[in-house]
Structure 1
Amino acid sequence: MSRRIALVEDDPAIRQNYADALVRAGYEVAAFADRASASRTLAGRLPELAIIDIGLGSDIDGGFTLCRELRGASERLPIIFLSARDSDFDIVSGLRLGADDYVTKDVSLPHLLARIAALFRRVDAATNEPVAADILRRGKLELDPQRMFAN
């Protein structure tokens, strides 16, 4: 089953370009042009990842607002800001608001797809904690073959 990604980008050409690349990579994409439509739709069903631009048309900080809304709905939802804004202030603000990553729009598509895959790997690792029965114990030695960890 493919992962569901919400893409929020006001520029139609850029939105379509990223949506096409994500679909080609095997993701299911719901694309939105503004914060209001994204908020309405995502309130009913959260995606597995939200990729958000900061400036959404006349709503110059709409992406920040949407990030706060989504983070309020789920502490675990992965969020990536994808923005042309590259100041330290914007990057730090985005991360402090709860984004897991922040990339600028000059990023190559392979680079963006690699970051998305890495983020999903971390999410999967955090949600797939080892079952106690999977851990081998011999005296004080504990081996977790799933995570390749010895203690």
Structure 2
Amino acid sequence: MPVFISYRHTDRPHAIAISTRLIRANIKTYFDVLDPESQTTDDITGVITRNITACTHLIAVVSDKTALSWWVPFEIGEATISNRRICSFKTEPTELPLYLDKWPKLSTDKDLEFFIDAYREEVATKRSMSLDSINESLYGTYSRNAELFHDHLKNRIKRGF
């Protein structure tokens, strides 16, 4: 159940820090700079789509620079189509697009710990799986489980514990 890290390249230091923290928590991540194929292909869209499909979660690193990116919104859109667990991680005080209100918004190390806890709970209860392992009859359940993940994490961030 890898986590896809979406970011604008100017926000790479934040993305690296998030990926490193997840890896230390034994959570596998997909990070494009570590993928030789993403560095050499002419079909970057295909590589991104395939890797989002292989992941179960997506964290979009957002800053005021993200608004200048075409890739981050594309990756969020791909994750939305696949009912991925989506979160944004705001790196600085900035106005976020309203469409990100649908999902949990992380902005601190504590929020990232809440994400890690919610991720582990999903692993323990087997509520999250890759899209290629879902048949039509399980798709509705998977979608409801994604909503459950988002609601639970949003409430935990709001409560602060």
CA–CA separation in structure 2 for the residues paired with 1:68 and 1:31: 18
Answer whether contact 1:7 1:31 (CA < 8 A) is retained.
yes
Q: Would you say how many aligned residue pairs link Structure 1 and Structure 2?
A: 114
The structure that has the greater radius of gyration is 1
Structure whose residues are more often strand by fraction: 1
- The AA in structure 2 aligned to 1:50 is L
| TM-score of the pair, normalised by structure 1 | 0.57
Answer whether contact 2:22 2:28 (CA < 8 A) is retained.
yes
Structure whose residues are more often helix by fraction: 2
CA–CA separation in structure 1 for the residues paired with 2:27 and 2:13: 19
Q: Tell me the residue number matched to 1:113.
A: 113
RMSD: 3.3
Matches within 5 A, 1:64-79: 64-72=73-81, 74-75=82-83, 77-79=84-86
Compared CA separation, residues 68 and 58, structure 1 to 2 (3 A): closer
Q: Tell me the residue number matched to 1:54.
A: 62
After superposition, give the CA deviation of every residue in 1:106-134 in whole Å (9 maximum; x if it has no partner). x01x4302223225535865849xxxxxx
After superposition, give the CA deviation of every residue in 1:48-107 in whole Å (9 maximum; x if it has no partner). 1111123566734643332122212x12x10111123655x62642034xxx31112xx0
In the TM superposition, what is the alpha-carbon distance from 1:19 to its structure 2 partner?
1.4
Compared CA separation, residues 122 and 16, structure 1 to 2 (3 A): closer
Q: Tell me the residue number matched to 1:138.
A: none
Compared CA separation, residues 123 and 68, structure 1 to 2 (3 A): farther
Is 1:4 paired with 2:2?
yes
2:105 paired residue among 99, 102, 106? 102
Compared CA separation, residues 95 and 40, structure 1 to 2 (3 A): farther
Q: Percent identity?
A: 11
Answer whether contact 2:60 2:72 (CA < 8 A) is retained.
yes
| TM-score of the pair, normalised by structure 2 | 0.54
Answer whether contact 1:54 1:62 (CA < 8 A) is retained.
no
